[in-house]
Amino acid sequence: MYALFTLLAGACQSAMGSLNRMLTDYVGMFGMSLVVHAVGGILLILYMKLFVHEKLKISGMPWYLYSAGFFGIFLVVTSSYCIGVLGVSVVTCLSVTGQLVISAVIDHFGWFGVPRIPFNLKRLPCFALILAGLIIITLS
């Protein structure tokens, strides 16, 4: 079930990037990001009020956890901008490659409270295949 949700999330990310790029033509790059985050925030508030009945608590967290918002805005703005130049396939491949590399680093060092999973040389062929796929998609 989690794998299916993750696949759907990936599909939504590519569709969202394309729609965001179109939205940029109407409201500009930062206006698009504002619209995306405002609509998302409103929908989450409605969902929480109607189904979860959970109060939103944003105090008492370490200050650096708010940086997740920066990463969200950065992801939306940069991917939407780059889709207009590089296309959805190349942006998605580059994005996934970046995610895989940093996730291996995060796992290796156990950053952000995740269990430490040291990098294993058996993973190198997988990374080489991903790099080869990225090169092929980018050059085609």
What is the rounded distance in angstroms from the CA atom of residue 119 to the CA atom of residue 4? 26
Instruction: Please compute the mean of the pLDDT values over residues 110-123 and round it to a whole number.
Output: 93
Whole-prediction pTM: 0.79
Does position 117 have pLDDT exceeding 90, yes or no? yes
Does position 56 have pLDDT exceeding 80, yes or no? no
Percentage with pLDDT > 90 across the chain: 55
What is the rounded distance in angstroms from the CA atom of residue 38 to the CA atom of residue 32? 10
Amino acid at 77: V
Sole residue written with tokens 């990310």: 13
pLDDT, position 63: 86
* Residues in the chain, overall count: 140
pLDDT, position 103: 93
For the stretch 5-53, pLDDT in tens is 988 988 888 899 899 999 999 999 999 999 999 999 999 989 988 999 8
Amino acid at 57: K
